[in-house]
Amino acid sequence: MKALGMFKGMAAVKPNLARCFSVPGADEPSFIEQVNLYFNEAAKYLLATRPKDVTKDLLEFIKVPKTVIKFNMPLRRDNGTIEVIEGYRAQHSYHRVPCKGGIRYAADVDQQEVEALAALMTFKNACSDVPFGGAKGGVKLDPKKYSVGELERVTRRYALELSKKGFLGAAIDVPAPDMGTGGREMSWIKDTYAYIFGQNDVNSSACITGKPLNQGGIDGRPEATGLGTFYGVKELMNTPAFVEQYGTTLGLQGKTVIIQGFGNVGSWAHKFFQEEGSLVTGIIEYNSAVYDEKGLDQKDLLEYWLKNKTFIGYKKAQHVYGKDGMEVMYKECDILIPATIEKSINK
C-alpha cells in the first residue's frame, strides 16, 4: 500500500504463524508507525481540501495519545515465586467520554501496540458516530501459561492500579474484552472496582463492558464482534459495484470463506456465514489448522476445539495441519477473514 511504501526498512524478518513481529531490522514499520502513516495521509487530504476547517497543529494534537500509563505488578505464582508483570493503558482521546477500548492479554503486549489500538478506537468511534473516545489496555502475559487463580490475582491487581490512577470508571474509561480476555476477567475487574468505589458510585458496575449476564452484562455481547464482521462482509457482497469489480456474484450463498483465528470473533463469524449458506472451508489457529473444500461444520469443530485446544486429531476434515497451518491462509477462497491480530497479512 502507498503509505507502507513510504517506510524505508531494513532486513526482513520471517513472520511466524501467530504474529508478524515488529523488531529492529524488520522491513516494515511498527504498528503505531503504520497507524500514524495512514493518519498522515488523511491529514494531508484534509489540509488540501478543507484548509479553513483544520490546521496542521490541530491534526498533530489529534494524532498523539493524550495519556499513557505503564506499571509493573507483582504476581505471586502458585509455586510461591514472585513474577513481575507489565500492565499498560492508553487513552488516545477525551473528545468524548468515557474512553472505550478493550484489554488484551498477550506475551508481546507493549506500549506502542496499545497506543496504536487506542488510536484506532478513536477513529472507529468517530467514523461511526459512537459517542466515546478511544482507549486500549494490555497485560504482558500468555494466559495459557497461568492458572485461573494466577490470572484472577493479576487481573484484580491491574484493575486496582487503573482505579488508583484514574484510568477506570463509568464516566472516565470503560474497558472491554479483547484477545486473551473475556467475561470472566471483566467480572473480576467490575468486582474489584465496586469493592473500592461501590459505596459512593451507584454506577460502579458500568466501569466495564463484556460482563457475564449474571454480573450485569447484556445478551448478545459475546457474538457481537463476529456478527459485525459478518454484516460488514454481507453488505460488501451485496454491493453491485464491488462484486462487478472483482468478477464475482451478489450475496454470500455458496461463497467460500477462510478464517484465520477461531476465538470469539472467528468462531461466531463461522456460525453466521454458515447459516447464510457460505462454505467455511478453512480455519487457522496458532498451533494447527483444518481445511475441507466441502465446508466445515461450526458447532462440531468448535466443540472439538474447546475440548482439545487444537485441531490435530479432528477426523471430519479433508486436511488437518500442525504448525504448518499457515498454508491454509493461501488456499483459494472468495473471502479471507483475518480474525486474530494486527499485521496478519504481511505479503
Question: Shortest CA distance to 137 belongs to which of 148, 161, 152, 147?
Answer: 161
Q: In whole angstroms, what is the distance from residue 224 CA to residue 268 CA?
A: 8
Strand pairing class (99-106; 173-177): parallel
Could you count the other beta carbons within 10 Å of the beta carbon of residue 157? 18
**In the Cβ-directed half-sphere of 40, how many Cα atoms lie within 13 Å?**
11
Q: Directed axis angle between helix 224-237 and helix 264-275, to 10°?
A: 50
Q: Which of 8, 52, 63, 136 is catalytic?
A: 136
**In the Cβ-directed half-sphere of 342, how many Cα atoms lie within 13 Å?**
20
What string of DSSP letters covers 185-237?
A: HHHHHHHHHHHHHTTT-TTGGGG-SS--GGGT--TTTTTHHHHHHHHHHHHHH
Q: In angstroms, how far apart are the furthest CA atoms of the chain?
A: 63
**Annotated catalytic, 136?**
yes
Q: In whole angstroms, what is the distance from residue 213 CA to residue 272 CA?
A: 22
Question: Shortest CA distance to 175 belongs to which of 220, 185, 165?
Answer: 185
Could you count the other beta carbons within 10 Å of the beta carbon of residue 338? 17
Catalytic sites, residue numbers: 136
